[in-house]
Amino acid sequence: MQSIAFPLRLQESGLLRRDDRAASVLSLLQVMARTPQGSWRACPEFGLRDLFEDGRQRADLPRLVAERINGSLADLGLEEYQVTEVIREISSNRDMDAYSIRLENQGTAESLTTSVVYEV
């Protein structure tokens, strides 16, 4: 018997469908990037928007982003994924910052990468 756990999606038919865990973690990071810290009571560490808003003024932003994501993943029971690298990408658009976030699955050595774009 399979337990009901992250990641689940609601289908148009109203039934639950189990999604790929790695894809769901990447999707969770995208939501986290648009959410300010402290706005989700179930996970106080969740949210990166406040960090990205002040990103240009903080040299330690990559470290802070990695720490907050890893703390949130641990709080949500997703400890197998850990952020190993956050890089600010070079952009020709001065009104946008882009970051590449790399995660690794500690159990399988699987590596995932996603990009987060933030408009300043």
Structure tokens at 55: 């990103």
- Give yes or no for a cis peptide into 62 (omega within 30° of 0): no
pLDDT in tens, 9-68: 666 777 666 677 888 889 889 999 999 999 988 899 999 999 988 877 888 999 999 999
CATH fold for the domain made of 21-119: Nuclear Transport Factor 2; Chain: A, (3.10.450)
pLDDT in tens, 77-117: 888 999 999 999 987 888 888 999 999 998 898 999 999 98
pTM of model > 0.85:
no
Predicted confidence at residue 94, as pLDDT, reads 81
Predicted confidence at residue 119, as pLDDT, reads 80
**Domain locations in the chain as residue ranges:** 21-119
